[in-house]
Structure 1
Amino acid sequence: MSAGTDPSLPELRQVLGAAAVSAGLSLADGPQGALTDAQARRAARAWGLDDPTTGAGTVVVLVDGLGLVQLRERRGHAPRLRSWLSQAEAAGGPGPAAVTCLPSTTAAALTTLGTGAGPGLTGMVGYSVLNPLLGRDLPAGTVPSGERNLCLITWEGQAPDPRAWQDVPTIFERVEADPASGTRPTVVSVGPSRFAGSGLTQAGLRGATHVGVDRLEDRPAAAAQALRRGTPLVYLYVGELDHAGHAHGWRSATWLEQLERLDAAMTELLRRVPGGTRVVLTADHGMVDTDESLRIEVTAHPSLARDVVAVAGEPRFTQLHVPGSDPDTARQVADRWRAELGERALWVGTRDQAHEMLGPVGPRAHGVLGDVLVAMAGRWVVVDPRVHSPGAMAMPGVHGSSTEAETIVPLLVAQA
């Protein structure tokens, strides 16, 4: 749950579990802090997903980068989504809004969706972390470098096994066998072919049979085919909107084109799936647009660069490491950043205060989180040219912090 959000809002971590039980599935017990079968059933009832008379399956559509703020502002370009949104707003139920996790970023949020557990439990605490294989106790004078970071999306280079690193079982893995047949139902994931066996898939979404479909327009047919074969639960990923937002900003014509493609794909999905199929659409995060005037470079501010030996996370939710992870130094760095940034930061705190933003923080997350965490306000970003590439620093569409535009995502339910 994001700081400052309405605690009555549904949470992203509930969505996949609620969809699973709506499809007639049951969940085995998970670790403490992960979504339980009982919690999933309560969410399904609250969202109107518990009617057993449909006898059809459920499709969870995850639209990467589609915040509710963006959808509402651009609803005129998406007649299908606009109708779902209007229905949810008129129904008086828990939709059309849900809240994602913090940091509001893909690696953290997709794993939260996939496991029913927050980043503080999974350890998926950002786009990147200081590589745990290289150690965190860096000496004074160490120059921050991107080569020391581990990307929790790509897992490239020297990296731990993502399955061992993120060992909270996924909702897919927790689906129990049918008591009548004794066989475990197959669940299917539809998305780009390159995601099969990827680091993020293994970490946060393992346990489903992956069907590789690269064109967005072809994914509805693949999802419908899986359902007609008897698959009760299908996860369908849409990443095109997020790519357009990062490259061009969410207010761009390119982003609108991708929203229109998504809307057409949802119309096609409802047309193709068996009657009675439920479709639950949500997102991992929203987005804000930034520009050069709103970028703060660490190297241009001696008070910010002092005692910082590594920079990870992302420009909207930056993680700083201090020499030897010394708590006193971390507090001093946090004080300097707080004073320097002023109202440009929503929150600056130490690792021991991370629970204020992330919720409960377990040993794995505590071991990789930065010594100082910085969540940015408005459309401000923090970049470091020693760590970030020129392209990454110039990216117009960003996310990761706890503003409404980043953390409030759609929760839309439709039935074929």
Structure 2
Amino acid sequence: MSTDAEFADARHVPPIPPRPPRQPAPAADQDPRTAVLRRVPAAPATPPAPRAAHTPTGPTPPAGRPGTPPPGTPAVPPRPTAPPPAPPGTRPPHPDRAPTAPAAPPPPAGRPAAFRDTAAFHLAHSQELWNAARGRTDGPDTPGREPAAAPGSEPPQPAADRPAPPWPGSHLPPQRAGARPGMPAAPRRPASARRPGARLLAAAACLVLGIGLIGGAAAGSWLTGDSADAPPSPQEAFTKGHDVWHSTPVDTLFPRTVNGLGVGPGGADRTWTRIAIAPDSGCADAYDPRLAQALATAGCARLLRATYVDATHSSLITVGAQTARTDPAGMMALNTRFSTKNLANRTDLMPLPYAPEGTPAEGFGRAQRASWTVRVLTDVPVIVYAVSGFADGRAVTEPQPAEAATRSGATTAPAESGLGHDAKDLADRVAADFRRAAGLPSQTTESSP
């Protein structure tokens, strides 16, 4: 057999030299430091590989082709042809798959996986170095000091595993929780998106402020009594009624046209047009002697008169308003006297018409009086009267008061012609105008005669 055939046998393969043991870690006082004088943590100690059961101690064979082992060398056991049996409870490997190398043990907790004396390490820990250089020893970033964990929370991570804060004054956005190193930071949302209720709160504040200002102005007007819509007191209205005859336009007290809706006989509409107006004057020669005597207790400050014609030009109506000089008690006494003694319905106390020459009313005299009414107001010092007659100048032998001529079922000439309605409705209208000019409502308050 040749020499090559002899080395083909496994027993003639030279042995593998043993692996030198790992040097122990230096002591704490002899630990090398990096360029920034930071301790380099020692690598985890790993147990040395077990030596072979039979380590050859003989001399090494000479170089070249292997020859016959020297005498005294123990024989190498043959290699196994089958894998060792698997431990109980494990799955045997597949015969066609390559054996899997055992996983390396994980590094101990708190130890870095690689050497940290790199440029990236120094850039990540520059904040700690900056604080150490400035002498800060009480902050959470001080090297060698770990932050205290809150009660009930997880223990803090080692300083080597925590993300380093940014350099002071840098404009880099802080990393969000759970972000991976090297990933771009998410864009920052605008302030309006982060606070969607800011505009709503501002609008609500403006609304509340506006309501408060309006309410304060209204309360101030109410407390000071400056409201223009507040009606005057009865005494103020009565005092103002003395000046209505010269402080109010004549067209307000005696309108040029008066429309009466549903005030005629049977609810018919009536329209009256002013054809003559007398200058303001005294009460002398304006009444018959008996009527002048009945009104003398109230006094006469001024007398206003006007004459109207209806839309058909068939009737004439004179309306007068006497401003009295008495006080409210005097007006109330006069109204009571006219009501209790029925003075307003006496034919010898009829007022006189105003019939100027050159007008359609120039033939309207004492004989043409057909219906009349007298109103003694108690809230203003005014006595209102009205007298009506036919426009063609016919004489009326049986005149009738307006209150009687406007009753349902009346068959007299003044009632059927509507003269009673003309006198009553125009007197009501002028009385309402005097009350309104004094600042009072237009409803009637005097007693019906």
Superposition TM-score tier, normalisation by shorter sequence: under 0.3
Q: Determine which structure has the larger helix proportion and give its number.
A: 1
What's the TM-score once normalised by structure 1's chain length? 0.22
What's the TM-score once normalised by structure 2's chain length? 0.20
Q: Determine which structure has the larger strand proportion and give its number.
A: 1
Looking at CA atoms only, which structure, 1 or 2, has the larger radius of gyration? 2
Q: Which of structures 1 and 2 has the larger relative contact order (alpha carbons within 8 angstroms, sep 6+)?
A: 1
